[in-house]
């Protein structure tokens, strides 16, 4: 199997350090997990991005706390995340291991800017005054 077919090297809490930085290289895709399933047996949907970490391209699954922080900082259009950077924090998870939590770096959109962007994207939405 070609490495490119398996998605390449994965970034995990086991192969990174607290405080290191990732740069987003694509807008991400939703993929079915090959490791985790819901109680009904269906695969968990995971948001996976290509990132640059320590000058290497890697795949990174973004968990909900990171998604929330990134959306609050950069907006909900992940295409706009390309080229942006985030700092890695390591946190204990419910299974006793560690998970990657991302903290956005750089320009952060205010709630007002996000609201204005949504209005520009959807001009039929009434402007609140």
Q: What CA dihedral angle connects 55, 57, 60 and 65, to 10 degrees?
A: 40
Beta-carbon-side half-sphere exposure of residue 50 (alpha carbons within 13 Å): 12
Mean pLDDT of the chain: 85
List pLDDT tens digits, range 109-120.
555 555 555 555
| Residue 1 scores a pLDDT above 50 | no
List pLDDT tens digits, range 26-77.
999 999 999 889 999 999 999 999 999 999 999 999 999 999 999 999 999 9
Q: What's domain 8-121's architecture?
A: Beta Barrel (2.40)
Per cent of the chain over pLDDT 90 is 70
Task: Give residue limits of the domains in the chain.
Answer: 8-121
């Amino acid at each position: 199997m070609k490495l490119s077919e398996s998605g390449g090297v994965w970034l995990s809490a086991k192969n990174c350090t607290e405080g290191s930085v990732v740069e987003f290289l694509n807008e991400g895709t939703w993929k079915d997990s090959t490791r985790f399933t819901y109680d009904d047996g269906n695969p968990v949907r995971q948001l996976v991005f290509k990132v640059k970490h320590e000058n290497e391209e890697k795949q990174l699954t973004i968990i909900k706390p990171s998604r929330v922080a990134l959306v609050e900082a950069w907006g909900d259009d992940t295409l706009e995340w390309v080229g942006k950077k985030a700092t890695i924090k390591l946190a204990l998870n419910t299974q006793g291991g560690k998970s990657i939590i991302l903290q956005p770096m750089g320009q952060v959109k205010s709630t007002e800017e996000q609201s204005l962007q949504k209005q520009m994207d959807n001009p039929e939405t009434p402007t609140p005054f």
